[in-house]
Structure 1
Amino acid sequence: MRAENDPDPEPEASPYSRAVRLSALAVIAVGAIVLIGGWVFDVRALRTVIPGAVGMKPLTALLLACGGIALLLVAPEGISARRARLGRVAATAPGLLAALVLGEMIFGWNLGIDEWPFVDHDGRAAGIATPGRFAPPTGVCFVVLTAALLSLDAGCTGRWRPSELFALPIAIVSLMGLIGYTYSIPAFYGPGSATKMAFHTAACFVALAVGILLARPRGRLLAMATTTDPGGVTVRRLLPLATVGPLILGWLHLKTVGAWDVFDLEVGTWWLSVATIGGLGAMIWWCAASLSR
């Protein structure tokens, strides 16, 4: 058994170790830039990214950086006990503080952490009852993120790893927010949206969720997507098209019915339905034909 003060062993490399490291470093960088540039030096553009949209709160930036540090520490396999302990501490901080903020929301507490370490003058000017407090979905994502990081090396349950079961809802909730920004949904903008998830917050959560999934690629999700059998081939071919296609069709529907005023609502919805059915049918036919060769 290795002594406590022995040097750290060289972590084992995984096929996606570089991607995991880049995801973690990107999140750390975003958190640091927003916290230092956006709040210390009061550069509003760094807090909001999109003009008029809700900004990233200082506590959110700090906890995202903690999540990135935790992923960077615990992602490699075969790490030392000391590094694992540091990783667990960094992973616990986001969930613990987010749980306290969620407790404030549920029980009406005021623990004084919403505007720590900076006062949210924009939120106060907009008349927000709790300036500086991040959105409820953000708090839930932080709690689930902690669970995912702490269970990264937990064994599989029915071929599913607990960490990937925790990472999936983080990715789904964050992607929903990003799609809302892509479609310029008014609920994501203006003073009334001051408790919604910021654009770069959602992007960071997606990066962390992807990093967690790639850190342990032997779970059911990635195993299904990377296998060479027909199921894996089907996933790799259909999933990108099934994701991007509806996004493009939805955007075109909004533009042709709303901004461009090409069709009325009924005709635009009819075109959307026809295009969706035709596109999905073509994808299924193409995939089946390629597998039958």
Structure 2
Amino acid sequence: MRNQTGGGRPSAFDTQGIGSSEHFASSQSNNSNMVTIAMGMAMVVILFGVVVLIASFMEEAYRPLLVDLLAVGPVTAIGFILAGSGLYLQGMIATQPHPRLRRTVRMLALVLLALGLATLAHGSLYALGWVPVDVAHPVSALVIPPLLAIAFITVALALLLHDWRLLGGYYPAEYLCFVLLAMSAIPLVGYIYGVNQFLYLDFYLPVPWLSCTVFALLGTALLMARPGHALMAVIMRIAPGGQMLRRLLPQTLLLLLAFSLLLNWGLARGWILPELLLPTLTLVNGVIIVFIFWGSASRLDSEYGERTRNAQKLAETSALLNAVSESTSDPIFVKNRQGLMIFANPATLGKLGKTWEETMYRASRELFLVPEEAEQIDQDDRRVMASGKPEKLEQSIHLPEGVVTFQTAKVPWFGKDGSVQGVIGISTDISERKQAEDVLRQRESQLEKMVVQRTALLRELTNHLETVREEEKRAIARELHDNMGASLTAISMHLEGVYQVLPTDEKWLDRKSRMQALMKSLVATTRRIQTELRPNTLDLFGLKAAITEQLDELQERTGIACRASLPDEDVAVGHEMEIAIYRMLQEMLNNVSKHAKASKVDVILDVDEDHVALTVRDDGVGISEDRRDNHKTYGLRGLRERATYFGGEVDIRSTPGSGALITVSLPIRPAGAAQP
């Protein structure tokens, strides 16, 4: 059934197109098996010839046991070996064509032809009486029945013309094989019915029945060696004609032979009159033929009815699937194992911009514009067929309408025998979706870029505010040192003069001690506030001295045992980073004193060429996971913000009840490097 749309494109599931590869594969398998059988029969012929040659050299005592083998003769045995060898090589040529094999077959056939001509000429001299026959003396070994010599000539010609074809498509070798079968059948019929005329054929030596059997075997094997030739193809086809021939031919021959033998047996015993033999044979043969052909016709009629019903069901299914294939907007296609397009629905043809005639049995490189894309498609097809598993693929292809992105589901196409015959694909045009995804991805990229820029601005603002705050702290600390410190020193000096004029009674001595303690506390508080606002030690002596001073102050104020591990050399990381490290250490020690309930704390400062790491470890109650992940905890959040500004990170490790370990790692920027 052909669809008129799409330039004569076949229907969606036309078995003539898609199923042909399965039939071809099955036919190839049957042909290969037939050639193998023919080669086995050739080996039997060769072995038979070798056995006859060996028997010809046996001692006289064994010759009565080998009468049938010795009747064949050594010359005939040599001919059988030559014919079997040529036939075996012809079978090899069918599977592995090679010029050397062809030359060898021709040479064997020519030798066999020469042997047949020589024996025919020599035997003709005896047949014509030109050479007298002396029964008392053995005749020449070259003397064989003319029928066998002609049979050898026929086999040689069949080997020489085995693959030669006439213009009409016919092979002369096949007809020579049927002639050989007919010649071998004449003596066999003579042996079956006891007719000496068929055994001698006007020659003084009979044709051995083993020789006739071997020639029949050779004729059959020569036909089977080329099952694809015209006459053998009729028998090998799965069509009704081939099935009928394979079924009827053996039955008819066997039944006719059986009834003929039965009639001959009755004639020999006098049960059938000689004048009734021919009418009886005609009547019985007619009944047999009518019975066999009538039964075969009934079977063919039944099979035809079943095929008609199956064809109707297949047509309905094909019509339904064809309607689905025709109406869908998704391209559907089928390729064979060679990667050739054997089916394409209208959507596929529309995308390719081709008719079915321009697409049918074309490779990918002939259908697509860009060779690289076609090669990628073929690679995907081969991978799916090799794995036997379905795959979903995505590829952008240049088509006449432009660049189109397809999402294709490819599945292997399995034949009836389970072998992979090709690949089936269904594609979906996802170009619009891909464009939307690209736009969304571009917007996401722009949003991410905007977030990075805003984050950088916020960090710059935070750094500016931190710098302003540090400057304000520095100014306040300077004011406390310069003004408040000077004023407190002056007051203390004036009070020393006042203390000297005070009375010496107990009342004034108590007031003096209170005033001195109050002044001392006021000075200490002023110094502590000044140090917290801006440590002079950091400005005067550097980071190491500031860390040591901070730990001494913590130990004096809280009683926590503090230990520091600092580099031997001076730490040069820049003024801003020194302040940041100092403030982060200040925050971590403040957390230890307020929340850790620790008895000791270790501070480790490591500096290498690229990084500076500050580690604080305590033996307190630890930090819970909720508190570590809580972004509203200003102390830990301040640590992370300061570290992030310098491109560093904060690592908090803690087990409740076993203390905490906080590490701040900061990269050291080269001089003049830009801020993140």
Tell me the TM-score normalised to structure 2 length: 0.36
Gaps of 5+ in 1: 1-12, 110-122
- Residue 155 (structure 1) aligns with: 165
Q: Structure 1 pair 168/80, CA: closer, same or farther in 2 (3 Å)?
A: same
Counterpart residue identity of residue 153, structure 1: D
Structure 2 residue corresponding to 1:38, chosen from 34, 53, 56:
56
Question: Could you tell me the percent identity over the aligned residues?
Answer: 23
Q: Structure 1 pair 92/277, CA: closer, same or farther in 2 (3 Å)?
A: same
Taking the TM superposition and a 5 Å limit, the aligned residue runs for 1:195-210 are 195-210=205-220
Q: CA deviation at 1:105?
A: 4.1
1:143-174 CA-to-partner distances (Å, cap 9, x unmatched) read: 11111111222235423222212211011111
- Residue 276 (structure 2) aligns with: 267
How many pairs align? 262
Q: Structure 1 pair 66/45, CA: closer, same or farther in 2 (3 Å)?
A: farther
Taking the TM superposition and a 5 Å limit, the aligned residue runs for 1:92-111 are 92-106=110-124
Whether 1:134 aligns to 2:144 is yes
Structure of greater Rg? 2
C-alpha distance in structure 2 between counterparts of 1:135 and 1:264, whole Å? 35
- Residue 24 (structure 1) aligns with: 42
Q: CA deviation at 1:125?
A: 4.3
- Residue 71 (structure 1) aligns with: 87
C-alpha distance in structure 2 between counterparts of 1:193 and 1:44, whole Å? 24
More strand by share: 2
C-alpha distance in structure 1 between counterparts of 2:134 and 2:142, whole Å? 9
Q: Structure 1 pair 124/73, CA: closer, same or farther in 2 (3 Å)?
A: farther
1:74-96 CA-to-partner distances (Å, cap 9, x unmatched) read: 22223332232222222222211
SS in 2 for 1:155: coil
Q: Structure 1 pair 283/26, CA: closer, same or farther in 2 (3 Å)?
A: same
C-alpha distance in structure 1 between counterparts of 2:188 and 2:177, whole Å? 17
**Contact 1:178 1:202 (C-alpha < 8 Å) held by counterparts:** yes
- Residue 278 (structure 1) aligns with: 287
Taking the TM superposition and a 5 Å limit, the aligned residue runs for 1:246-257 are 246-257=256-267
**Contact 2:244 2:296 (C-alpha < 8 Å) held by counterparts:** yes
Q: CA deviation at 1:212?
A: 0.9
- Residue 522 (structure 2) aligns with: none
C-alpha distance in structure 1 between counterparts of 2:227 and 2:166, whole Å? 12
SS in 2 for 1:216: coil
C-alpha distance in structure 1 between counterparts of 2:65 and 2:110, whole Å? 30
Tell me the TM-score normalised to structure 1 length: 0.79
C-alpha distance in structure 2 between counterparts of 1:108 and 1:82, whole Å? 40
Q: Structure 1 pair 213/198, CA: closer, same or farther in 2 (3 Å)?
A: same
Q: Structure 1 pair 34/84, CA: closer, same or farther in 2 (3 Å)?
A: same
Q: CA deviation at 1:189?
A: 6.6
Q: CA deviation at 1:247?
A: 1.1
**Contact 1:174 1:203 (C-alpha < 8 Å) held by counterparts:** yes
Structure 2 residue corresponding to 1:81, chosen from 99, 103, 108:
99
C-alpha distance in structure 2 between counterparts of 1:234 and 1:90, whole Å? 37
SS in 2 for 1:144: helix
Structure with larger RCO (C-alpha < 8 A, sep 6+): 1
- Residue 113 (structure 1) aligns with: none
C-alpha distance in structure 2 between counterparts of 1:36 and 1:157, whole Å? 45
Counterpart residue identity of residue 69, structure 1: S
**Contact 2:145 2:203 (C-alpha < 8 Å) held by counterparts:** no
- Residue 48 (structure 1) aligns with: 68
